[in-house]
């Protein structure tokens, strides 16, 4: 079923359909879908994607019967099980969780720069059917683990979450996506960091081949705040990670890291867009992929330094190891610099595993397969060692061992 038919048929079940502003915005989006030629050549965000899966789908959403579990383990640690994109309301003196509200709808969709070319964000705005808002209150330091569960086959989850870190707060957020059913999750995270706040955001993605996962996030950082995103993608299904970041006040930082482990026919699309809009801000990006069989990956990155953003530091790096002649990784880091006092760099290296290193290790008695595995582990060693959370490190290590066990 096409986009318009899906929308007309299901709009009663879609969030905020009665709101006139939302309604008129969605009509505009439908126009875009109706008239867009989906020109893959000029719109990089849809390159390497089987659009049919996403534009011609059957809308189906089930509200969960049971509310999500929120537990506070009394030591500033919270666990949330979000079922089909929903989460119960919760409030204490440190955090507040509510359902997504009408007033939050425009937070991201108002940004025309992104919207024009981002069909997945448009789809999310059009079919929004779940989501929640989490506020970390001033000067609190907490950890939240969210397990994102999809309960049934053939569900189309269009979820929008807001994370707000109030002044002086610090949040370690671990999000797990481990879904085995034949469904699609299209998630938009809107993240706001107030003055002197910090958010370390870990995303562990490990879905089965039939589950599509599209995660778009948008962070805005005020004075002295830092947003760190580390994505570990072990999924066997399609995954798209897109992060859009705005450094809007001085001394703010964004640190993006994405590591993906691909095999079979799988595809991983990674895209970033970092806007430096104030002085003395830093952005750093490291994306690394290990690709086996006929897997494909892309990394499109754009760092934009506004003319007022003097003393900017902006770095982009992508690296890929191709374990098979049929695997491919397309990387395109871009810098657009309009200020004159900046330190920026970009680099990309993609190639097969170093045969000289394999020979060296084998000449000491190590088997070819053991040498290959040790070199894959060493390729991401720095990133793995940088995980300060023991629970996270253990989870990633186990998944890495599982991935390596299938490397022949």
Partner 1 sequence: MFLEIKDLSVKIENKNILKSLNLNINKGEVHAIMGPNGSGKSTLANVLAGKEDYEILNGKINFKDNDLFDLNIEERAQEGMFLAFQYPVEIPGVNITPFLHSAINSKRKRMNEDEIDNLSFAKLLKSRASDLGINIDMLKRSVNTGFSGGEKKRYEILQMSILNPDLAILDETDSGLDIDALKIVTDGVNKLKTKNNSFLIITHYQKLLDYIKPDYVHVMVNGSIVKSGGSEIAAEIEKDGFQKFQ
Site residues, partner 1 (CB under 8 A): 354, 356-357, 359-368, 370, 374-375, 377-382
Closest contact distance (angstroms) between CB of 232 and partner 1 is 17
Going by C-alpha positions, the residue among 259, 336, 333 that lies closest to residue 300 is 333
How many CA atoms lie within 13 Å of 187's alpha carbon, on the beta-carbon side?
Answer: 30
Which distant-in-sequence residues (6+ apart) come within 8 Å of 72 by Cβ? Answer: 78, 92
Closest contact distance (angstroms) between CB of 383 and partner 1 is 10
Looking at beta carbons only, is 8 or 363 nearer to partner 1? 363
| Alpha helical stretches, state H, 45-128 | 51-55, 106-109, 112-115, 119-127
Q: Kind of pairing, strands 170-177 and 198-205?
A: parallel
Looking at beta carbons only, is 62 or 375 nearer to partner 1? 375
Closest contact distance (angstroms) between CB of 366 and partner 1 is 6
Share of the chain residues as helix, strand and coil, in percent rounded to the nearest 5: 25, 40, 35
Looking at beta carbons only, is 250 or 358 nearer to partner 1? 358
Closest contact distance (angstroms) between CB of 385 and partner 1 is 9
Looking at beta carbons only, is 32 or 366 nearer to partner 1? 366
Going by C-alpha positions, the residue among 72, 5, 61, 12 that lies closest to residue 33 is 5
Closest contact distance (angstroms) between CB of 353 and partner 1 is 11
Looking at beta carbons only, is 12 or 364 nearer to partner 1? 364
H or E segment to which residue 396 belongs:
helix 390-405
Closest contact distance (angstroms) between CB of 361 and partner 1 is 7
- Residues 349 and 326: their CA atoms lie apart, in Å, by 17
Residues in the chain: 408
What single-letter DSSP state applies at residue 307? T
Looking at beta carbons only, is 44 or 383 nearer to partner 1? 383
């Amino acid at each position: 079923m096409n986009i318009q038919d899906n929308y007309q048929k299901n709009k009663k079940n879609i969030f905020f359909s009665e709101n006139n502003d939302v309604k008129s915005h969605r009509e505009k989006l439908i126009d875009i879908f109706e008239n867009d030629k989906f020109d893959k050549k000029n719109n990089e965000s849809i390159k390497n994607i089987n659009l049919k899966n996403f534009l011609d789908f059957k809308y189906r959403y089930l509200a969960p019967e049971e509310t999500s579990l929120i537990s506070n383990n009394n030591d500033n640690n919270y666990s949330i099980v979000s079922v089909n994109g929903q989460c119960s309301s919760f409030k204490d003196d440190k955090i507040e969780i509510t359902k997504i509200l009408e007033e939050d709808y425009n937070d991201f969709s108002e940004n025309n720069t992104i919207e024009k070319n981002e069909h997945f964000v448009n789809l999310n705005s059009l079919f929004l059917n779940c989501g929640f808002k989490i506020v970390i209150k001033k000067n609190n330091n907490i950890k939240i683990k969210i397990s994102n569960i999809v309960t049934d086959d053939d569900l189309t989850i269009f979820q929008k979450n807001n994370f707000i870190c109030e002044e002086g707060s610090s949040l370690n957020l671990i999000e797990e996506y481990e879904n085995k059913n034949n469904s699609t999750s299209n998630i938009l995270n809107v993240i706001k960091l107030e003055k002197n706040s910090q958010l370390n955001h870990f995303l562990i993605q490990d879905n089965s081949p039939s589950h599509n996962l599209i995660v778009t996030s948008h962070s805005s950082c005020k004075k002295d705040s830092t947003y760190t995103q580390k994505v570990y993608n072990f999924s066997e299904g399609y995954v798209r990670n897109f992060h859009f970041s705005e450094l809007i006040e001085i001394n703010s930082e964004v640190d993006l890291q994405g590591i993906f482990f691909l095999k079979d026919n799988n595809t991983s699309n990674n895209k970033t867009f970092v806007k430096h809009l104030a002085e003395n801000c830093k952005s750093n990006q490291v994306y690394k992929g290990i690709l086996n069989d006929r897997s494909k990956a892309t990394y499109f990155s754009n760092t934009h330094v506004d003319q007022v953003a003097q003393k900017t530091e902006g770095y982009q790096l992508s690296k890929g190891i191709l374990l098979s002649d049929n695997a491919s990784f397309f990387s395109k880091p871009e810098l657009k610099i309009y200020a004159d006092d900046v330190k920026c760099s970009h680099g990309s290296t993609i190639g097969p595993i170093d045969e000289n290193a394999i020979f060296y290790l084998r000449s000491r008695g190590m088997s070819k397969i053991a040498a290959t595995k040790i070199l894959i582990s060493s390729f991401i060693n720095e990133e793995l060692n940088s995980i300060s959370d023991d629970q996270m490190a253990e989870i990633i290590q186990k998944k890495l061992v599982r991935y390596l066990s299938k490397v022949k």
